Amino acid sequence: MELKYELADFVSATLGFVALGLSWWQVRRSEKLMRLSARPILTFNNSHFQKSYVYCCEVRNSGLGPAIVTAFAIKIDGKLCDLSDEKEAKAAFDNLPAENVRHCHGNYTPGDAVAPNESLIILRIDEADLLGGSHLCDVLSHIEFKIEYMSVYGDRFSISQRADHYFMLRGKKPAPAGASA
């Protein structure tokens, strides 16, 4: 009779531990799925509108959750440009071989969020504003973007890209302003 009770106790304890292990596994699995369901994915989208001779670079959140910006930087000729200082930003952009290069979105500061499916233009260049026969690719080769961001769960991500990446992928330069395409 004693052996029967010992076996029953052992089976009960084993089933309890198995149930506890399965519960723990289910909680971890649910946590992972929740993280994935709120993961932001920032990408740079570059557009070159040949008819209007305008180049735009935008950042887009293609993910399912908000991207909380922890750092945002634009480097011009390898030098970090402080966009919160209007004089420094203007001086940096004035050194480019183009007039009216527009940094379209205000400086991202830590804590700013990019909502899912939100796109913000961060740079715009009209080719008509290029100076001295400069080529759009020549201007863009001076500019690099970097954004560090995190999800609502604290997962950290980073993206960076040179502004001329759009044309580097295609292996060619766009036609100069006024040239027939």
pLDDT of residue 180: 40
Q: What is the mean pLDDT of the chain?
A: 78
pLDDT of 177 strictly over 90? no
Selected residue with higher pLDDT from 25 and 125: 25
Most confident by average pLDDT, 69-78, 82-91, 120-129, 166-175: 69-78
Residue 79: band (very low, low, confident or very high) from pLDDT cuts 50, 70, 90:
confident
Write down the pTM of the prediction: 0.68
The residue that leads in pLDDT, 5 or 8, is 8
pLDDT tens per residue across span 117-162? 998 888 877 776 665 556 777 778 888 888 899 998 889 999 988 8
State the Cα–Cα distance between residues 118 and 89, nearest whole angstrom. 25
Span 16-35, average pLDDT: 87
d(CA 23, CA 177): 64
Distance, in Å, from the CA atom of 100 to the CA atom of 120, rounded to the nearest integer, reads 19
| Weakest-pLDDT range from 44-48, 97-101, 141-145 | 97-101
- CA distance linking residue 123 with residue 72, whole number of Å: 13
Q: Work out the widest C-alpha separation in the chain, in whole angstroms.
A: 101
Query: Rounded distance, CA 3 to CA 116, Å?
Result: 62
Backbone angles phi, psi at 17, to 5 degrees: -65, -40
